[in-house]
Structure 1
Amino acid sequence: MLAVLSVEIRKLNRSLALLLAAAAPALIAVFAFAMMLRSRQPSEWDMWIGSGLAIWAYFLMPMCVTALTALIAQMEHAPRSWDHLRALPVPRWTLYASKAICVIGLVLVMSAAVLGMTVGAVVLGGMVKPEVAAVGRLDLAGYAWTLIRIAVAAVLMIAIQFWTAIRFASFVPGLVLGIGGAFFAVVATSAKQGVFMPWQMPVNILATEAWRVQTALTLGGGLGLVVLAAAVIHLARREVR
């Protein structure tokens, strides 16, 4: 398993996945910096970091998961290399499990980058325009814990997107699913039923209602692991045509 995982990690160096992993958090940082330059009075750290986390959980994370799963799947679909991979003397399930781990690992790296780049952007904004420098306490540990829970709540969404991207040779089904899921999550933000939508679960971690947070963690994380395991088993048993 470790050997297969190391090969998948090396493949990422030759893909656009790492570029995406850097570009998406950078967009949030640029937004925070631009907003600081437009500000006329200082704001709390909670406002700046909270805004960045909300943008990440609400919109950018679902879009990035859609893109990441498509990129990782197309590394094998495009050159039609599944037959070669499945003929290797390793358990088939490790091929798919290693790809799923890479996706989750990249989401965690991007989450950390969101926090780091946003803090850096706010500090830089305060240096350029000292009168609007962030005030209050910078609770890095608390923000990091929130990002971890957002990532846990996103596991179900990741599993569904991963399953779709690997199952279909074309990137279109996964792309349509991701865009459609994000769209309905946005329009159903205030609906109680929306809490059961996988694409809305990450942002529910930021909700003030405890039941929304607990539902997102239970279904997004717990059920997400079950669905991810089912995806790996199904893909390993399926014959590729």
Structure 2
Amino acid sequence: MLSFLSVEVRKLNRSLALLLAVAAPSLIAVFGFFMALRAKASAPWEMWMMSGSAIWAYFMMPMSVTALTALVAHMEHGPKSWDHLRALPTPRWSLYAAKAVCVIGLVVLMSAGVLALTAASVSLAAQIKPAVAPTGAFELANYARMLGLMAVAGALMIAIQFWVAMRFASFVPALIVGIGGTFFAVVATSAKQGVFMPWQMPVNILAGEAWRMQTALALGGGLGLIVLILAVIHLARREVL
């Protein structure tokens, strides 16, 4: 398993996945930078960090997961290398498990990037325009915890996207699922039933109602782990044509 993880990390270094991992948090930071410059007065750190985290959970995380899983899957689907990989004298499940761990790891790294780059962009804007310098304490532990919970709540979404991307050689089904899931999550934001949508679970970490947050963590994290395990088992057993 460790050897497969090492190989997957080296593959990522030669792919566009790392570029995506940098670009997604950077776009949020750029948006925050210009919003801070447009502000007429200072605002608490909490407002800026909540704003960046909300954009990440609401839209950028679902779309990033869609693109990331498609990229990781295409590294094998494109050159049709599954037959060679599955013929290796190692358990097949470890191939898919290593890829799943890499995807989750990149999502966690992107979450950390959202925190770091959002804080840096607002600080830079404050240097240019001192009148908008954030007020209050920068509660790093709270912001990190919030983004960590979003990653946990997004586990079910990641598992579904990973399963679809690995199952189909074409990247189109994964894109359809990801775009469709994000679309319905956006239009159903205020609906009570929306909390049960995997693509809406990360943003429910910011919900005012405790039950929405608890539901997102229980279904997103708990059910997400189960679905991911089932995905690895199914992918390892099926024949690749």
Specify the TM-score bucket, using the shorter chain as the normaliser: over 0.9
Identify the residue that residue 116 of structure 2 maps to in structure 1. Answer: 116
| Structure 1 position 130, deviation (Å) | 0.4
SS of residue in 2 equivalent to 1:205: helix
Summarize the alignment of residues 9-28 of structure 1 with structure 2, pairs less than 5 Å apart: 9-28=9-28
Identify the residue that residue 68 of structure 2 maps to in structure 1. Answer: 68
Q: Percent identity?
A: 72
Pairing 1:134–2:134 present: yes
Unaligned regions of 5+ residues in structure 2, if any?
none
Pairing 1:214–2:208 present: no
Q: Distance in 2 between matches of 1:28 and 1:168?
A: 31
Unaligned regions of 5+ residues in structure 1, if any?
none
Identify the residue that residue 237 of structure 2 maps to in structure 1. Answer: 237
**Partner letter of residue 60 of structure 2?**
L
| Structure 1 position 89, deviation (Å) | 1.1
| Structure 1 position 144, deviation (Å) | 0.1
| Structure 1 position 121, deviation (Å) | 0.4
Identify the residue that residue 203 of structure 1 maps to in structure 2. Answer: 203
Summarize the alignment of residues 53-92 of structure 1 with structure 2, pairs less than 5 Å apart: 53-92=53-92
Please, what is the CA RMSD of the aligned residues? 0.4
Identify the residue that residue 177 of structure 1 maps to in structure 2. Answer: 177
SS of residue in 2 equivalent to 1:199: helix
After superposition, the C-alpha distances for 1:26-47 in whole angstroms (9 at most, x for unaligned) are: 0011011101111110011011
Identify the residue that residue 166 of structure 1 maps to in structure 2. Answer: 166
Q: Distance in 2 between matches of 1:35 and 1:195?
A: 29
After superposition, the C-alpha distances for 1:101-157 in whole angstroms (9 at most, x for unaligned) are: 000000000000000000000110110000111111110100000011000000000
**Partner letter of residue 225 of structure 1?**
L
Identify the residue that residue 39 of structure 2 maps to in structure 1. Answer: 39
Q: Distance in 1 between matches of 2:180 and 2:162?
A: 15
Q: Distance in 1 between matches of 2:240 and 2:88?
A: 14
Identify the residue that residue 194 of structure 2 maps to in structure 1. Answer: 194
Q: Distance in 2 between matches of 1:181 and 1:103?
A: 18
Q: Distance in 2 between matches of 1:207 and 1:56?
A: 14
Runs of 4+ aligned residues of structure 1 deviating over 2 Å after TM superposition are none
TM-score normalized by the length of structure 2 = 1.00
**Partner letter of residue 168 of structure 2?**
F
Q: Distance in 2 between matches of 1:192 and 1:22?
A: 34
| Structure 1 position 7, deviation (Å) | 0.4
SS of residue in 2 equivalent to 1:100: helix
**Partner letter of residue 188 of structure 1?**
A
| Structure 1 position 213, deviation (Å) | 0.2
Identify the residue that residue 101 of structure 1 maps to in structure 2. Answer: 101
Identify the residue that residue 226 of structure 2 maps to in structure 1. Answer: 226
